[in-house]
Chains A and B, each alone.
Chain A
Amino acid sequence: MKSFHKSPWLIHYDASSCNGCDIEVLACTMPRYDVERFGIINTGNPMHADIFCVTGGVNTQNAPIVKQIYDQIPEPKVVLAVGTCACTGGIFKECYNILGGVDQVIPVDVYVPGCAARPESIIDGVVKALALYQEKHDKMVQEGRGLPEDPSLDEDNDVDENASNDDNSSDENASDEENAS
C-alpha cells in the first residue's frame, strides 16, 4: 500500500500531561501548520490509526489505557512520545504518581522533546515516524504478514479491473450460498 507512508492517521492520547503538548498537537492541524492538507488526520478511533502520539509522563491510572489503545492500533504502528514529560517524566519525574516516560509502558519509536513541544518539532517527529513506519511495513511484508505493495496504486500501471471484478463476484457468490444454506 503506497498510501500508507503518505497520509498516516494519528491518534492522540493525553497520558497525564499538563495540556500544553496536547494543545500543540491539535495546533498542528490548524490553518498555520495544516497537516491535514497532506492527508494526516487526527482520528479518535485507535483502529483507524497508524501513529500513536502520547503526551505526558503516564501515571498509574493511565498506564492500562495507554496499553489498551496501543494494542488496538493495527500493525504496523509507530509510537511518538511528545514532550519532555513523555520522553523522561520531565519536571514531574519526582512525583509519586508518575511512572517516568511513555517507554516505561509501551515501546516508543520517536521522542519529541520540548516543554511544550512546538508544532514544528511535532511535525518533524511525525515525518521521522513515517520513515520508520515504512520500514516496519516492509519488514512485515518480508515476513509474509502484511499486504504487499498494490501495483494498481502505481501511476505507471493500469488498474487491473477484471481481477477486482472477479474477486467481487466470487465474494457475492459465496454470500449467496451462505444465504441459501
Chain B
Amino acid sequence: MSEIIKPKRTIIPFGPQHPVLPEPIHIDLVMEDETVVDAIPSVGFIHRGLEKLVEKKDYNEMVYVAERICGICSFMHGMGYCEAVEHIMDVEIPDRAKYLRTIWCEFSRLHSHLLWLGLLADGFGFEALFNECWRIREKVLDMVELTTGGRLISSVNKVGGLIKDVTPEMLKAMKETVIQVEKELKPVANTFLNDYSVKSRLCGSGILTKEEAIALGACGPMMRASGIEVDLRKTGYAAYDNIDFDIITSNDCDGYARCAVRIGELFQSVEIVRQAIDKIPDSEEVSVKLKGNPKGEFLMRLEQPRGEAFYYVEANGTKFIDRFRVRTPTFANLAPLIHTLKGAPFADVPLLVLTIDPCISCTER
C-alpha cells in the first residue's frame, strides 16, 4: 500500500506583534510541514495618511512632516522633499549646505546599517553582537545630536538650505568619530563575515538571483547583493558628484551577501564623510532666501540606506502644494521578500524578513 499522502496545509500568522520586528507587519505563512509554500502579506498597520497633510501644512512646514515618515532615515526624507521643492523653485543652495547634507546623509546611513546589523544578530540569537553594534551606533548618534540637535529626528533641513551651520570644531569631532567608528567596526565586521555560526545561518538562505531581482524590482543593498550595480548616489545629488566612491556589489545573492554589502557600505560611508569634510568649502551662508511660491512638478530620486526612494511634488503656485507622493525602498523589496520566503524553512522566516531591512513606517506612511 504505497499511497502518497499530500501534506496538509496550515496557515501560520506572522505578526503584527512579533518579537523579531519592532514594527507591525502581518504575513500569513502557508505551510506544508516545515516549509513555507506561500506567503501573503497584509499591510496598513502604520498607515497614517501623512501625504494628505499637504492640504493643511504649507510647503515650509511640510518638511517636518516629511522627516517623520520614518525615524531611522528621517534626515534623508526631509532632504528628498526639500530638494524636490528646491528644483521646482529653481533654487541653487550654497555648496557648504550641499556638503553638510552629504555628511549627514552618510551619518544616517551609518546608524541605519548598524541598527540593521544589530537586529540581524538578534534575529539569529547572537546577543553579544547585537549589543556591540548598538554600542557603536550610539557614537554616531551622539555626533548627529551634537551637530544637529536631535538624536533621530534632526530637523535641520529647510527649503533653500539648512537651518544651522556647523563649527570647525564640530567638523573635526565628526571626522574623529568616523575614524573611531571605523576602528571599532573592524572586529564586528570580521565576526559577521567570518564567524562560523553567523555563516551557518546566513549562507545560502533567501536566494534571489540577478534575473529575479530585476524582474521583481528589488532595490538598494538587496539588488546590489544580487550583483547589480545600481546606486543613485552616482547621479550626483547633494555633493556626491564631487566625491569618489565605488558601488559595492556581491554575486552571492543570499543573506550573507546582503550582510556583506551593508558592511561594505559602512566602511564606504566612513570614507565619504572623510572626503566630504576634507573638501567642504567655507562660506557664511548655508541657506538662500526664497522668493514666491513653488509652481510645477518634480520627481526627486535618492539613495536611502534601504534603497531607492522617490519624492514626487506637484505645486500650484500657492503656499500649499497639490500632491506629495513618496515611494519607499521597502515597498519595492516586499515582492522579492515574498519570493525568497517560498520554499524556506519556517525557522528562517524571521531572518529572511530581516534581510530586506524592512522599514514599515516608510512603506505605509
By a beta-carbon cutoff of 8 Å, the part of chain A in contact with chain B is 12-27, 30-32, 43-46, 56-57, 59, 61-62, 65, 69, 91-92, 94-98, 115-116, 118
Contact = CB atoms under 8 A, between A and B. Distances in A.
Nearest to A27: B134
Given A19-B359, A20-B71, A27-B134, A95 B50 contact: yes
Contact of B46 (A16, A32, A44): A16
Please list the 9 inter-chain residue pairs (A to B) with the smallest Cβ-Cβ separation, ordered nearest first: A20-B71, A44-B19, A19-B71, A30-B134, A16-B46, A20-B152, A31-B135, A22-B22, A19-B361
B216 interface: no
12 contacts: A15-B24, A18-B68, A19-B23, A19-B359, A20-B152, A27-B134, A45-B19, A59-B46, A65-B16, A95-B53, A97-B49, A118-B151
Contact of B361 (A18, A31, A98): A18
A27 B133 CA distance: 11
Q: Place the interface of chain B in its size category.
A: 35 or more
A25 B134 CA distance: 13
Nearest to B44: A61
Nearest to A11: B17
Contact of B152 (A31, A44, A91, A116): A116
B56 interface: yes
B267 to A, nearest CB: 22
B47 A59 contact: yes
Contact of B134 (A21, A31, A45, A96): A31
Contacts of A116: 71, 151-153
Given A14-B46, A26-B22, A44-B20, 14 more contacts: A14-B23, A14-B24, A19-B70, A30-B135, A31-B134, A32-B138, A45-B19, A62-B46, A65-B16, A94-B53, A97-B47, A115-B68, A116-B71, A118-B151
A98 B359 contact: no
A14 B22 contact: yes
A118 B52 CA distance: 28
Contacts of A62: 16, 24, 45-46
A17 B19 CA distance: 17
Nearest to B43: A61
Interface in B111-140: 115, 131, 134-135, 137-138
A115 B154 CA distance: 10
Nearest to A32: B138
Contacts of B19: 43-45
B13 to A, nearest CB: 12
A32 to B, nearest CB: 5
Contacts of B131: 30-31
A57 B71 CA distance: 15
B49 A96 contact: yes
B48 A98 contact: yes
B143 to A, nearest CB: 14
A18 B49 contact: no
A179 B274 CA distance: 73
Contacts of A24: 151-152
Nearest to B134: A30
B18 interface: yes
B110 interface: no
Contacts of B137: 30
Given A23-B22, A30-B135, A44-B18, A91 B65 contact: yes
Contact of B52 (A26, A30, A96): A96
A55 to B, nearest CB: 9
